[in-house]
Structure 1
C-alpha cells in the first residue's frame, strides 16, 4: 500500500488534491511532455467551456477506438488540462499510449450552470466525437466513456438523458461517482438544487436499468458515501440483471488518486479498464 496516499485517509479538499498531484508529478509530467495534443479546444458546443482535446500516438493508420474522459471537480471546478498541466489530460495520453484516441473534455460548471448541464454537455461531446473523430483517426463506431467523481455523475446522466446511449457508445467506466443511493450533500445542492428535486434528478434508475456494459470502481480511501454509492449500484444492478457488472476496488488509492494514477507504473486499474474495453471496442 502507498504510505503517502494512505496517510491522507478519506479526506477531500484542495490540500488533499494538491498532495496527491504532487505525489504523481514526476512520473506523469515527464510522460505527458513526450506527447502533445493532436488537437486542442475543439468546440463541441457554443459555451466557452464546450471544448475538448484529442490525443493520438503516431500516424493515423487504421481507425482506432476512442475513449472520452470526463473529469471530476465536485460540479464546481475542474479542467481538461494540457496547457494548464498534466492533470486530466494524462487520461487522454494514457488512452493514446494504449492504441486508442484519447478525448478529454471540459463542461459547464455550477453554480452558474445547474442540473442537467453536465449531462447535457456529455451528450453534446459524444455527438461531436461521433461526427468528427474519423478525421483524426478515430472510429466513431467504437467509443467508450470514462468518468471520475462528478464526471462519473455526468456520464451516468448521459445514460438518463439519451435513450439511444447504447447506440452511441459501447461501454463506460465510472470511477467513484454519485448516482442517487445516498442522501444529497449540501455542497451538491449548488448543482442539483433543493432536496425535493434530488431524487428525480439523479441517474439512479437509468444507470440501474441500462444495458450498456459498465465497469464500476471505487477506492479503499474513498469517503464512505462514495463507497455506499458503489455498493448500492452493484446491488441494484445484480437485482435488475441477475449478475454483477464488472467492478474494481482500488486498494491503496483515494478519491483523487483513482484516476490520477492512470498511466503510471501502477497498472491495476489501467489493466482492468483496458481488459474491459477490449471486449467491446
Structure 2
C-alpha cells in the first residue's frame, strides 16, 4: 500500500484522489453499510450546502465527545459523503466506532462563495451542535474540530473569526493545512481574492497565538508547500509558547491518504488523534 502511495509522489489532482479511494475501498466500503448515519442533512444554516450528518455507534445514557469533520477539496469541491459514498463520511463512522459522536459537514464552495464563507459555516455548524447534539447523544461542551486541507484552513479561520473559540470547542486537529506562511497559488485566489488580500485573510495569527489545544499533522508525501507550512507553524509556536503543539508526521501517506485511511488497519494517526481527544475531553 505504501508503494502505491509513494508512486504518486507529492502530486495532487483528481486522479490521485480516485486512486486513493480505490486503495481504501475494500476496508472502508463495508463499514458504510454497517454504520449508517443516525441523522442526515441536518440544516445548520440557511444555504443548501449548510448540512451535516451525525454518526453514533449505540445508545448510551452518557453524553459523548463530538468530533466535527471538515472535508478538503481545495475550496472548490468536496462533499460529506454518506451511505452511497464512503469518503469523508468514514471519518464520522470512525469517530462513532471509537466512542464519540461523529459529525461530518458540507460547506459553501468557491468560486460562488468566497472568503470568509468557510469560517462562517464552521461557526454555524459549531453553534448548531452546541444547541442540538445532546439530543443525539453528544456532549455540547466537548466538541472537537478535525479538518483536512481546505477544511483545516476553515477550522483555523473559525479560530481567527471568533475570539471566544476556546469557549466553544475543546480542541482542533489540523491535517495538511495552509495557514499563511507560503504565498497563494491561483486556485487559492478563487477563494481568497487577489494576492494583496492574502496576509489579511489567512489565519496565521490565530493558529500561532491560540491557547486552544492543537494537533497539527502533515504527510510524508504532502507537497513541499504543505510541509513548509507545518514545519513553520511548529517552529513558530515553539518560539511563542515555549513548547510544540501535539504533532504527527504521517510517514507513508500523501495529502489525500492521510484522512482517507482513518478507520483502517493503519492506526498510527488514529491512535494519536484519539489520545489527543481523550486528553482534552
Give me the CA root mean square deviation. 0.7
TM-score by length of 2: 0.99
- Structure 1 Cα separation of the partners of residues 271 and 64 of structure 2: 18
- The aligned counterpart of 1:99 is 99
1:279 counterpart SS class: helix
CA-CA distance at 1:84 after TM superposition? 4.3
Structure 1 contact 217–250 (Cα < 8 Å) conserved: yes
- Structure 2 Cα separation of the partners of residues 237 and 6 of structure 1: 30
1:217 counterpart SS class: strand
TM-score by length of 1: 0.99
- The aligned counterpart of 2:116 is 116
- The aligned counterpart of 2:212 is 212
Q: What is the correspondence of 1:1-281 to structure 2 with a 5 Å cutoff?
A: 2-281=2-281
Structure 1 contact 60–136 (Cα < 8 Å) conserved: no
- Structure 2 Cα separation of the partners of residues 138 and 33 of structure 1: 22
Give per-residue Cα distances to partners, 1:128-178, cap 9 Å, x unaligned: 000000000110011101000000000000000000000010011100000
CA-CA distance at 1:60 after TM superposition? 3.3
Aligned length: 281
Q: Which runs of 5+ in 1 are unaligned?
A: none
Q: Which runs of 5+ in 2 are unaligned?
A: none
- Structure 2 Cα separation of the partners of residues 151 and 60 of structure 1: 30
CA-CA distance at 1:236 after TM superposition? 1.1
1:11 counterpart SS class: coil
Structure 1 contact 122–154 (Cα < 8 Å) conserved: yes
1:197 counterpart SS class: helix
Worse-matched range after superposition: 102-111 or 30-39: 30-39
- Structure 2 Cα separation of the partners of residues 31 and 93 of structure 1: 8
